[in-house]
Structure 1
Amino acid sequence: MPPPRKAPRTIENTREADETIAQPDDGELHAEDATDEFSAHFNHEITPQLLITSSRWCSTITIKFIAELLKVLPNAHYYKRGSYEIKQIVKYAKNRNFTAIIIVHDNRKDPNGMLIICLPEGPTAHFKLSSLVLSKKIKGHGKPTSHLPELILNNFTTRIGHRVGRMMASLFPQQPNFRGRRVVTFHNQRDFIFFRHHRYIFEDKEASAKLKKGASKESDKKGDKPRKVPIISRLQECGPRFTLKLLSLQNGTFDTKFGEYEWVHKADMDTSRRRFFM
């Protein structure tokens, strides 16, 4: 018999060893999760309420992107930025029991950053935003319903990744409505977080083939014996589609002068293609 094939070497499976990779049986990590800023959310004590705004001068694409985020995120509300400082927005949101603020930054042409401030105690994450594709640009995109989505988080393996994953999860209610067949995915690969929004489609295999060929679905003739029709499932992307890269993670709410940072990305940290932080 031929010898078994070896698994191909990839950047992912040859990544540099990292002492901060979280283990499933890590009691210290479980103890931290039980008392961190997101514990009330995961204990079903609060329901996410999100305030979404933009930079002071934003482009039309940013407004369209925010409109699509409002369809993705349950209990999200848009407020026009105006001339308010971020600290003023934080104070306003705290007084009205919002659980997080999302600020979409842009360069007056396209969205290029996202700031997520968890309330009332933080943390605050700053991301670079890239590769944005709005729903209308996605071929065959579907229309999302108002059902609460199922959330999938992939490959958030280190301590920092675990924190970011819990932050993303805290933006969504913990009771997904599976009848709505909505799925939101945050997939971390090489420290890039890929966002996707899909819905499940269940359909008649033969009818699907006819529709693809341009033929209409014919009704069953009288007298025909009922037969079992194979049902197929597929994913239909709803959009939007974008990529995030973590730039910094700060304790507490937004504070550029006196804030304590848990993690900051610096150029001298990129010493190897096989070194990842999340």
Structure 2
Amino acid sequence: MAIGGKRKRNNDSDGEDDSSRRRTRTEPEKEIKEPFRPSMIKNKEKRSEVHAKVKHQKKLEKRAKAKARDAAVKRAIELGEEPPEKKVPRTIENTREVDETVCKPDDEELFAGNDADEFSSVLNRQHNPKILITTCRFNSTRGPAFISELLTVIPNAHYFKRGTYDLKKIVEYANKQDFTSLVVVHTNRREPNALLIIGLPNGPTAHFKLTNLVLRKDIKNHGVPTSHQPELVLNNFTTRLGHRVGRMIQSLFPQDPEFKGRRVVTFHNQRDFIFFRHHRYIFETKEIKKIESKGKKDEDGKSEKVPDHKTIARLQECGPRFTLKLVSLQHGTFDSKGGEYEWVHKPEMDTSRRSQNRIDTS
């Protein structure tokens, strides 16, 4: 009797039953399933097989889209309509932020200052460039090897052993000897890792980080350069800072190249990395056989083949090969304590790959 009465009170109290109590409980959230990927398969052979099938299916879909696009273009041309707009891939280059320091061809203020800067006497051919090359105090085996190749690249360059002299004393000596530039090769752990270029007599001083050095002997099928003055090519030095750095590099080389030597020195700037290459042109004459018209035949009645010569031009790398990145640009000659800097590289400048470069806009 007590049990039945208890059951009755439970059924009648507040009108609640088991189903209502179940509804009041927090329902567990549904688990979100991840999309299937071949990498989720543990068996290596099965995973490779599924991956190959997925890759093949994507290839077929890509081919089908290309055929449909070509058919749409062909149909539009036949009907005299405009073909569908070609899609442009989204890349880092075409999504870069606009830089206000890009040099424009009509910038009269910038080009008017070229006649009064530190490099005008050399670039206007008033003085011939004369370069002094030295090293840091603690030199390595690859340092002299790199310098010996720089001497073949830069005409009228002279090497002086550093010894224990301070850099300021070397700058004073170079000014007395009428040198126009001073190049210092720094090494770390027996490897050249930096270049210091000082414009004389009044600066500026550029500090470059040097990486990816490949000497001439390590380049496959390398060529041996001649003593002719090389042709200089500067690419993508388009901002105000790049314009100044480009003129500094240009002041290291004579302004009257000897094209007969077929030597080309290239400084290609891309994303603030300056890639150096040294090549020479090679012209080869190849024999190409062509069949003359049907009217001319030999004794056997066959068409006569007359050899024809064709000249082909190609490039042969002479070395060395290395990459530079500007670390700082300082007013005047080298002064590590009281010098004023025009520009200094900071780590926060490399946070975004889409931000415009300081030297170029490529």
Q: Could you state the TM-score of these two structures normalised by the residue count of structure 1?
A: 0.91
Deviation string 1:179-207 (CA, Å, 9 cap, x unpaired) is: 00000000000000000000000002349
Aligned residue among 247, 253, 262 for 2:327:
247
Structure 2 counterpart of 1:46: 127
Aligned residue among 230, 235, 245 for 1:154:
235
Aligned residue among 98, 102, 119 for 1:21:
102
Report whether the alignment pairs 1:181 with 2:262. Answer: yes
TM-superposed CA distance for 1:145, in Å, is 0.2
TM-superposed CA distance for 1:9, in Å, is 3.0
Aligned residue among 91, 106, 111 for 2:192:
111
Deviation string 1:12-62 (CA, Å, 9 cap, x unpaired) is: 332221111111110110111121111111211010000001111111111
Map residues 232-271 of structure 1 onto 2, 5 A cutoff: 232-271=312-351
CA contact (8 A) 2:194 2:207 kept: yes
Structure 1 counterpart of 2:4: none
Distance 1:101 1:270 in 2: 29
How many residues are treated as equivalent by the alignment? 262
Distance 1:50 1:127 in 2: 17
Flag the structure with more relative contact order, 1 or 2, with Cα contacts below 8 A and sequence separation at least 6: 1
Q: Could you state the TM-score of these two structures normalised by the residue count of structure 2?
A: 0.70
Aligned partner of 1:140: which letter?
N
CA contact (8 A) 2:287 2:307 kept: no
Distance 1:274 1:10 in 2: 9
Report whether the alignment pairs 1:30 with 2:30. Answer: no
Deviation string 1:60-112 (CA, Å, 9 cap, x unpaired) is: 11110000000000000000000011101100000000000000001131000
Paired residue secondary structure (1:97): coil
Aligned residue among 219, 239, 243 for 1:138:
219
CA contact (8 A) 1:58 1:108 kept: no
Aligned partner of 1:59: which letter?
S
Aligned partner of 1:52: which letter?
I
TM-superposed CA distance for 1:259, in Å, is 1.1
Report whether the alignment pairs 1:274 with 2:354. Answer: yes
Report whether the alignment pairs 1:89 with 2:174. Answer: no
Deviation string 1:130-173 (CA, Å, 9 cap, x unpaired) is: 00000011111000000000000000111111111001100000
Paired residue secondary structure (1:51): strand
Identity of aligned residues (%): 66
Segments of structure 2 that go 5 or more residues without pairing to the other structure are 1-72, 74-82, 289-304
Paired residue secondary structure (2:208): strand
Larger mean Cα displacement after TM superposition, 1-10 or 154-163:
1-10
Paired residue secondary structure (1:166): helix
Structure 2 counterpart of 1:75: 156
Q: Which has the larger radius of gyration?
A: 2
Paired residue secondary structure (2:150): helix
Report whether the alignment pairs 1:230 with 2:316. Answer: no
Paired residue secondary structure (1:205): strand
Segments of structure 1 that go 5 or more residues without pairing to the other structure are 208-224
TM-superposed CA distance for 1:226, in Å, is 7.8
